[in-house]
Every structure is written in structure tokens, then in C-alpha cells.
A and B are shown apart, each in its own frame.
Chain A
Amino acid sequence: MKFIDEYRDSATIRSLLAQIGSEAESGRTYRLMEFCGGHTHAFYRYGLLPLLPLNVEMVHGPGCPVCVLPISRIDAAVALAAKEGVIFCSYGDMLRVPGSDGKSLLKAKAEGADVRMIYSPLDAVRLAVENPEAEVIFFAVGFETTAPATALALKQAAAQQIKNFFIFCNHVLTPPAMRAILDYEDGEQACSIDGIIGPGHVSAIIGSSAYRFVADEHHIPLVISGFEPVDLLTAVLMLVRQINAGQAVIENRYRRAVKDEGSPQAIRLMDELFELRGSFEWRGFGMLADSAQKLSAGYAAFDAELKFDVSYEDAVDHKACRCAEVLRGQIQPEACSVFAKLCTPENPLGACMVSSEGACAAAYSYGGGRS
């Protein structure tokens, strides 16, 4: 299959591994963060982590939309779904995330809430048209990758003057989270990252220039990568070279998908339909300024948070759950005391064990459930 086979070629992979092995200087460690959960998943799926030299350590980042949503938002979603006359539409990955007292959308559905798993926000618009008596709410989650699809659905609903379609908007932005991680490094529990593998899909939307502050302000190199083994190992090698040379520049090794300027069309669409929230709560980071989107004033009629009485109760994660530190890249999933013991994909205590992009879920499933 074109665009796949050449990026999984074993000779290329072996040669990249050999180069990383010879260029990574002994006597120093390279702590590299792959920001995106899709990258985390790929590192595990292709079994790449054990093949890297011992002093090249991959640190998993917070780039998992399901993981970073705080419990208060999950609780709000469950409450919205339970409302009489509501059809609540969600991506499948969100359904099993536990809110307060372990209550998830899947459990709410079993108790009678009309929760539908959908693949595209346009399915929710269609459901609204087909069920005029119901109020259809789309649970919009995700980084800049899914936001344009939400925007498109919103635009379509507005054009068709659909009155029973609403969006519970939880779209979050990548650069503020990256900034938070790097700023956090200055605190007591420094996570000391030497380089970052930049997101692939997100960068296809926002472009490589969005990360300039990583190099300019923090002097940390960042290489944007695709999701195949050759992509990832090339990015690792380039980071090792930059670190060896004391360099910090933004490089794009995913040119087949990512342009420096991103996708102007998608950016325009988001600018038109969304506006920045003053601040937004992230799991693991607390409130981050200018880090999330809501529907812009012109589309307020579609905003589920305005239409329905949505309240956010302070909720705490399970006290043994260390998702917050996992998301900040401070600990590896296996370092959490409940990992693979009390917390498993069957009975997740924290969101990182639920999503297929979550670091704990990847470590658990590809590690055979051993702690």
C-alpha cells in the first residue's frame, strides 16, 4: 500500500535504529516527548521502544483528547445525556471514560439515556433532522484535528436552520498545552524534556510555525512526525542530532501531510465559528488560559452550554490515580501504583487507561497488562 509500506520497510528501520544507536552519545540521556497519543500508540504498536538505546527515553505527552478532559466535563456530559428528550451523540472513545463515582456515558446509556456513538459530527446533524422532536447534542472533543469537522457540522446546521442541534464544545488547543508542559518544567517536579516530537495530524491543520516558541523561548528542538515507524525513528534521529549540536529548531519531517502554514481553509473555518475561551480546565494541568474553543457569538443558539443548564462541580480524580503526572510527562504509566492492578481497561480509574490514545492504555495493552 503506497504511503504505508515504504514507511514500514524493515531495512530502513534497522538502519535508522543503527544510526540512532551510534549517534546517541553515551554518558548523556535524551528524554524525548512524543506529544501526541497517536505517536505513543505507534511507538508501542510497532514495538519500537525496546529497540531504542537505553539512554534515549520516550516520554509520553498529553496529546489524547479523551485523557485531558477533566472529570467535571465528563460529569456535565453525563448530566446532559440524562436529560429528558435529549439524544446525546459522542465519539466512541469517550463513552467509557469514568466521571465522578465511575459514572460514564456508557453506564448512563444502560440506565436509559439516549446516547449514540457516531463517527462524524455530520451524523449528529442528520439525527437532528430525523428526530425533530428531540434535542440532539454533539459532544465535541478533540484538538485542532477534530475541531474543523465540528465547525463544518455547525455551519451546515446553521445553513439548514436546524433548531434542535446543539454542540457541547470541548475543543482544546495544542500549543497552550505544550507551553504548560515546558513551563511546568521550571517547577519543583521538573520533567526535563530534551526534545519534542510534534503532532502529525494537528500540525496538518495549524502548521509547523505554531511551535516556534518551543525553540525560541525554551530552546528545545521539535520535529513534526508522521505515524509510521520510519517517520518516528527519523524524528528521533533528528532530535538526537539537534541535541548533540546544541541546536533548537522546528523541523517538519511530515511534509507529505503538513505544510508550514497548515490548512488555511480549516483555520479560517475555525476562526469564523469558534472563539477562544478565557480559560479551560485540563486534566493534569488545571486551568489554562486561552487553551480552548467555544462557539462564537454568532452561533450561540447552537451552544449546549447556553441552551441547557450546564454546571461544573469540582470533582477530584481517584486519589490513587496519577493520570495528571502521566499527562505532564513526569512519570511513565508503569510508575503509577494502581497501573495494571486496580486500574485496567476493564475497570479504568483514570482516563489515560480508557482511550486508545491514552499512554496507560497503550502501555497496558502492548505490555501485556504487566506492571
Chain B
Amino acid sequence: MRRKLDMEHGFVDLSFGAGGVASAQLTREIFAPEFSNPILDRMEDGAVIDMPAGRLVVSTDSHVISPIFFPGGDIGSLAIHGSVNDVSMMGAEPMHMSVGFIIEEGVPFSTLKRIAVSMGRAAREAGVSIVAADTKVVKKGEADQVYITSTCFGVVADDVAIGADRARQGDRVLISGQVGDHGAAVLACREELSMKSDLQSDSQSVSDLVAAMLASGVDIHCMRDPTRGGVATSLNELATTSAVGIEINEAAIPVNEGVRAVSELLGLDPLYFACEGRLIAICAAEDADTLLACMQHHPKGEAAAIIGEVTGNGDIPLILRSAFGGSRVVSVLTGDQMPRIC
């Protein structure tokens, strides 16, 4: 009988990735108790799932963030929310998840435990069960602490037809809350910026908000969670896929004061900051007020707003109008936003 893992001082070495007794112990003591559910607990090579009616929706996301713990979340909760939200954006109910970990040699057990606890909690809150998981350990320096790949499986009803190609001229664009909280919070807590802020990531599952929106009966044309690349990128993608133009109204876009401050300080644009618990929805103009009211009634959509409308033929995918009549094109970024030099 092996001794239990020393959760306080112990750390992962390469033997934990060899597939033998140590690997099994890592799974058994760190991950399995936090993820426990009847399908996973069978510990078979594959998860056997009874399929409900409807169509299967699958989404995969890999998470390689730094720092792995940030105000309002961590890489574990983010790995759950990221995939759950992607499945939700298709109007589906997220149900099951599969997760894979690449762990760097030397990572403390306590760090992994903290991540596992956070993932277990996030999964329960989102109403999904983690039915398959895998760990691999790589040599020190070959990864940055821990990477997580997560896949979410959900089911969408036959009469739901949300698609990036369904935006039509005259449609309204809605957002579920303040933009950029996640991106700004992660940026501000990076050690090298040494900023002090009370910004919190918005990382959360929006599956319950989506369920409420679908229940309102409104025909939602498009939905996106504006993660990497932010609202600017998501709206560009939707406009391009639908071959339309979108105009957003700067004054209508909800931005937290703290996020504005970080953006101003670094010369960055909050429209490009990632959100991890917000969604963009596009629906017909006559349905917009109904959908907005439905979102504002939900705790995760209290700050929802109509931020723009679908116009034109898409020569320019996205235009931002300012309150004084100025306008500019909002394009997709080439790389990361870089703080200004001067």
C-alpha cells in the first residue's frame, strides 16, 4: 500500500506520468473525488452515456493561461466555463465533459488539488458531469505548470436554429453584461505589470442564462461568447459569416470603470479584451426588447444592453459610432494588443 500523497509539500514528478501506480494515485486522490459521478466512477476506458433526444453538440477548447490563478477564477473553472459556454452558444444544454491535463514536472499537489476542486465546483454549478479525464506529465520547462483541454457535449432541441450566418439587416445586437472584465483582470494581475486593482474576472457558465433566453420564445439568430479577441472579434466573425455589416454604439456598450482605467493606462481597447461569462445575441428588431427584458431579469444578465444593429452589406464588417458622430472601423487584431511605448 503506497502512502497517501503529501498534499502540503509534495509535487508531481515524472513517475506520475508513467501510467503506473503513481499515475493511478494522482487520479484517485486529486481528481476523482472532485469530479465524482456515476459514469466516471465506473473507471472504465470509456464513458458510456445514454443519449437523450435531439442533436449532439460538441466543443473543445485548450487552456494555456498565465497566471493560472486570477481574481474571480482559475484555469480549472475557466476550462469548464469555456467549453460549457461554447456549447450553450448553439442553444444546446451542456451535459457531459471530457478533460485532459498536461502537467509540468514539479507542480505541487496542492496546486492541482486547488484546480480540481475549482473544476468540480464549476461543473456542478453548470450542471455538467465530467465523464472522462486524462493526465500526462512532461519534463520541467516543457510546459508552464498546467495546461487543460476540455471538451463539452450537449444536446440541442430540433427546433433551435442558432447560426453565425443568420444575422439579417435590421437585427439588433445585445450583450449580456460589461465587456472585458476577464481580460482586464488577468492583465492587471500579471506580475510584471505590478498593478493593484480590484478587478474580477467574469468567468462563469452562461448555460442557465441561455436556457432562460430560449424559454422566452424569441427566435435568436446568432449567439457568441466573446472570449479570445473580445467583442470586436466575435462581432467581426458574425458579420463576415452572415455577409452583413454591424454598427455598434460606443455609448451603449457597458464597460466597468476599472476596466476602462486599465485600458486607458495601457492604451488598450476593452472591445478586444476576453470575456468568459458574457454572451452576444442577435435577434430581429421587434424581438429585441423582449429578449433584453428576459436577459435583464436573469442574475447573469442584469447589465444586458442593446449595443447596436445589423446594417449594410458587409463591405465593412464592424463600425463603432461615437456619441458625437465620429465613426471608425473595428477590425480583427493581428496579434495580441501591445501596451504603447510612448
Assess A145 versus B342: contact at CB under 8 Å? Given A10-B322, A10-B324. yes
Comparing B67-75, B110-118, B122-130, B260-268, the segment that makes contact with chain A is B260-268
Which stretch of B3-11, B151-159, B218-226, B333-341 is in the interface?
B333-341
**A356-B267, A357-B342, A365-B331 known, 17 other contacts, Cβ within 8 Å:** A1-B261, A4-B264, A13-B324, A14-B324, A37-B342, A38-B267, A38-B342, A45-B328, A91-B339, A93-B340, A118-B192, A229-B324, A346-B334, A357-B340, A357-B341, A369-B331, A370-B316
A345 to B340: give the CA distance in the assembly, Å: 16
Alpha-carbon separation in the docked complex, A100 to B135 (Å): 44
Partner of B328, one of A46, A91, A92, A146: A46
A262–B340 Cα distance when bound, in Å, is 21
Q: Which residues of A contact B326 (CB under 8 A)?
A: 13, 46-48, 50-51, 229
Q: Which residues of chain B (251-285) have a CB below 8 Å from chain A? A: 257, 260-261, 264, 267
Interchain CB contact (< 8 A) of A91 among B257, B335, B341: B341
Contacts of A46 in B (CB 8 A): 322, 326, 328
Interface residues of A in 1-42 (CB under 8 A from B): 1, 4, 10, 13-14, 17, 36-38
Chain A proximity of B252: nearest CB distance (Å) = 13
Given A93-B341, A119-B339, A141-B341, A14–B334 Cβ distance below 8 Å? no
Give every chain A residue within 8 A of B193 (Cβ-Cβ). 119
- List chain A residues, Cβ under 8 A from B317: 368
A184, chain B: closest CB distance, angstroms:
22
B341 close to A366 (CB less than 8 A): no
Q: List which A286-303 residues lie within 8 A (CB) of chain B.
A: none
Tell whether, in the assembled complex, residue B323 and residue A10 are in contact, meaning their CB atoms are under 8 Å apart.
yes
Interchain CB contact under 8 A, B342 and A36: yes
CA distance A36 to B192 in the complex (A): 27
Per-residue CB contact flags for chain A residues 319-355 toward chain B (1 = under 8 Å, else 0) read: 0000000000000000000000000111000000001
Whether B327 is near chain A, meaning CB under 8 Å from some CB there, is yes
**Can you spell out 15 A-B residue pairs with CB atoms less than 8 angstroms apart?**
A14-B325, A17-B324, A47-B321, A47-B328, A50-B326, A66-B341, A119-B193, A143-B342, A146-B341, A146-B342, A346-B334, A365-B329, A367-B329, A368-B317, A369-B329
Chain A hits for B340, CB < 8 A? 38, 93, 356-357
Residues in A whose Cβ lies below 8 Å from that of B335: 96
Per-residue 0/1 for B32-56: is the Cβ within 8 Å of any A Cβ (1 yes, 0 no)? 0000000000000000000000000
Contact B342 A142 (CB under 8 A): yes
On whether the beta carbons of B342 and A202 are closer than 8 Å, the reply is yes
Report chain A residues within 8 Å CB of B257. 1
Whether A368 pairs with B341 at a CB distance below 8 angstroms is: no
- Cα of A94 to Cα of B339 in the assembled complex, Å: 11
Asked whether any CB of chain B lies closer than 8 Å to the CB of A283, the reply is no
A285 at the interface (CB under 8 A from B): no
Kindly list chain A residues whose C-beta atoms are within 8 Å of the C-beta of B324. Answer: 10, 13-14, 17, 51, 229
- Nearest opposing residue in chain B for A365, CB measure: B331
* Cα–Cα, bound, A91→B192 (Å): 12
In chain A, residues 190-245, which have Cβ atoms closer than 8 Å to a Cβ of chain B? 201-202, 229
The docked-state distance in angstroms from the alpha carbon of A355 to that of B339 is 10
Residue of B nearest to A228 (CB): B264
Interface size class of chain A, counting residues whose CB lies under 8 Å from the partner chain: 35 or more
Residues in A neighbouring B329, C-beta threshold 8 A: 365-369
Which residue in chain B gives the minimum CB-CB distance to A230?
B324
CB distance from A364 to the nearest CB of B (A): 8
* Contact (Cβ within 8 A) B342 A92: no
Given A4-B264, A96-B335, A356-B267, decide whether A44 and B328 contact each other with a Cβ distance below 8 A.
yes
Cβ-closest chain A residue relative to B269 = A45
Question: Which residues of the other chain, B, contact A50 by a CB distance below 8 angstroms?
Answer: 326-327
Q: When chains A and B are docked, how far (Å) is the Cα of A272 from the Cα of B185?
A: 38
CB distance from A53 to the nearest CB of B (A): 14
Give Cα A203 to B323, complex, Å.
30
- Report the Cα distance A91→B266, complex, angstroms: 13
Out of A37, A92, A201, name the residue touching B339 (CB < 8 Å).
A92
Q: Tell me whether A65 is interfacial, beta carbon within 8 Å.
A: yes
Interface of chain B residues 169 through 191 with chain A (CB within 8 A) = none
Question: How far apart are the CA atoms of A36 and B260 in the complex, in Å?
Answer: 23
Chain B residues, Cβ within 8 Å of A281: none
CA distance A63 to B324 in the complex (A): 27
Are B338 and A123 touching (Cβ within 8 A)? no
Ranked nearest first, the 5 interchain pairs of A and B with the lowest CB-CB distance are A47-B326, A368-B329, A92-B338, A10-B324, A10-B323
Binary flags per residue of A243-280, CB closer than 8 Å to B gives 1, else 0: 00000000000000000000000000000000000000
B342 partner, pick from A44, A47, A48, A201, beta carbons under 8 A:
A201
Nearest chain-B residue to A202 (Cβ)? B342
**B316 — nearest CB in chain A belongs to which residue?**
A368
Q: How far is the CB of A286 from chain B (nearest CB, A)?
A: 22
Q: Least Cβ distance of A120 to chain B in Å?
A: 8
In the assembled complex, how far is the CB of residue A348 from the closest CB belonging to chain B, in whole angstroms? 9
Contacts of B337 in A (CB 8 A): 356
A367 to B328, CA, bound (A): 7
> Do A368 and B336 touch (CB < 8 A)?
no
- Collect the chain B residues with CB atoms within 8 Å of residue A202's CB: 342
Q: Which residue of A lies closest to B321 (CB)?
A: A47
**A45, A47, A64, A93 — most chain B CB neighbours (10 Å):** A47
Contact with B along A53-65 (1 / 0, CB 8 A): 0000000000111
Which residues of A79-99 are within 8 A (CB) of B? 91-94, 96
A119 to B192, Cβ gap below 8 A?
yes
Smallest CB-CB separation from A51: which chain B residue?
A: B326
Within 8 A of A (CB), among B70-110: none
Q: Which residues of B contact A141 (CB under 8 A)?
A: 341
Closest to B317 in A: A368
- Contact indicator A92/B261 (Cβ below 8 Å): no
Give the distance in Å from the alpha carbon of A366 to the alpha carbon of B193 in the complex: 28
- Contacts A4-B264, A119-B193, A369-B331; A356 near B342 (Cβ below 8 A): no
Identify the interface centre among B192, B257, B322, B342: most chain A CB within 10 Å of its CB.
B342
